[in-house]
């Protein structure tokens, strides 16, 4: 069995006994340079980089180079570990959403240049169902479907934007749609597990702060590690 591709954050890697053993492998392709961390079962991409002094902001991530590097080492299946804000009061911080669709109204990156090829964007249902099975197996509080709204970033959303988005989506983030589109263009199966780290701006009376978001990300990192370990037991024993 091949390697499972994982796209996540440095915090998840640092807290995982499995992932922190990954050996760094610099990669270069037609879209740029990146780095993969390899274990015996996982090929890990840190979407925001591995340098705490050079955090790669969402709008600057080279998704094409990252995904192409995974493809170059033979990855065909990818699980995205994504951080999100909730657009609904019944979806609380500490929960995980396994989205079945997404919205993005800004341009997504593409591998196609001067081509008439077009894809119909989607998340891979087989990978989605395996994430759901893994979440059930480790008894995580999760929603088995939902719509992800991707904003461009790096700024957070206004209260009015959150109010509008809540009519059409369940969670909001800045990266997943780009990863899903590029993976599909490269013929790799991709789905995501989204941790809810905070309520969207304006859902609560208290103003949203970056401190609150970072605290939620830190708290949920252990949940995502449990989910990933469960996924490996099911699909990559």
Q: Which pLDDT belongs to residue 204?
A: 86
Give the per-residue pLDDT at 214: 73
Nearest to 154 by CA among 65, 31, 56: 56
Question: 100 CB contacts (<8 Å, ≥6 apart)?
Answer: 123, 125, 128, 145, 146, 147
- Helix, strand and coil in the chain, % to nearest 5: 35, 25, 40
Q: Does domain 4-235 have CATH number 3.40.50.1580?
A: yes
CB 208 within 8 A of CB 199: yes
Q: How many CB atoms lie within 10 A of CB 109?
A: 15
CB 80 within 8 A of CB 192: yes
pLDDT value of residue 114: 80
Return the domain boundaries, the chain.
Answer: 4-235
Report the predicted TM-score, pTM, of the whole model to 2 decimal places: 0.94
What gap in Å lies between CA 99 and CA 88, rounded to an integer? 14
- Report the pLDDT value the prediction gives residue 1, as an integer from 0 to 100: 63
pLDDT of 15 reads 85
The helix or strand, by DSSP H or E, that contains position 63, with its residue range, turns out to be helix 63-72
| Beta-sheet pairing, 42-46 with 4-8 | parallel
**Low-confidence residues in the chain, pLDDT < 50:** none
pLDDT score of 78:
98
**What is the H or E stretch that residue 213 is in?**
helix 210-235
């Amino acid at each position: 069995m091949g390697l499972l591709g994982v796209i996540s954050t440095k915090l998840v890697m640092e807290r995982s006994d499995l992932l922190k053993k990954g050996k760094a492998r610099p990669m270069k392709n037609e879209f740029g340079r990146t780095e993969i961390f390899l274990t015996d079962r996982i090929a890990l991409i840190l979407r925001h980089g591995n340098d705490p002094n050079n955090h790669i902001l969402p709008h600057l991530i080279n998704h094409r180079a990252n995904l192409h590097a995974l493809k170059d080492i033979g990855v065909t299946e990818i699980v995205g570990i994504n951080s999100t804000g909730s657009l609904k009061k019944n979806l609380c911080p500490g929960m995980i959403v396994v989205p079945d669709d997404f919205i993005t109204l800004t341009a997504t990156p593409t591998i196609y240049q001067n081509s008439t090829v077009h894809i119909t964007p989607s998340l891979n249902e087989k990978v989605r169902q395996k994430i759901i099975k893994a979440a059930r197996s480790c008894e995580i509080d999760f929603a088995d479907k939902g719509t992800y709204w991707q904003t461009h970033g790096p700024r957070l959303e206004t209260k009015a934007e959150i109010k509008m988005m809540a009519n059409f989506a369940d969670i909001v983030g800045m990266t997943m749609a780009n990863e899903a589109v590029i993976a599909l263009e490269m013929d790799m199966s991709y789905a995501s597990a989204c941790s809810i780290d905070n309520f969207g701006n304006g859902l609560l009376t208290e103003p949203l702060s970056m401190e609150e978001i970072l605290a939620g990300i830190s708290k949920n990192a252990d949940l995502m590690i449990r989910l990933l370990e469960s996924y490996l037991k099911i699909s990559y024993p």
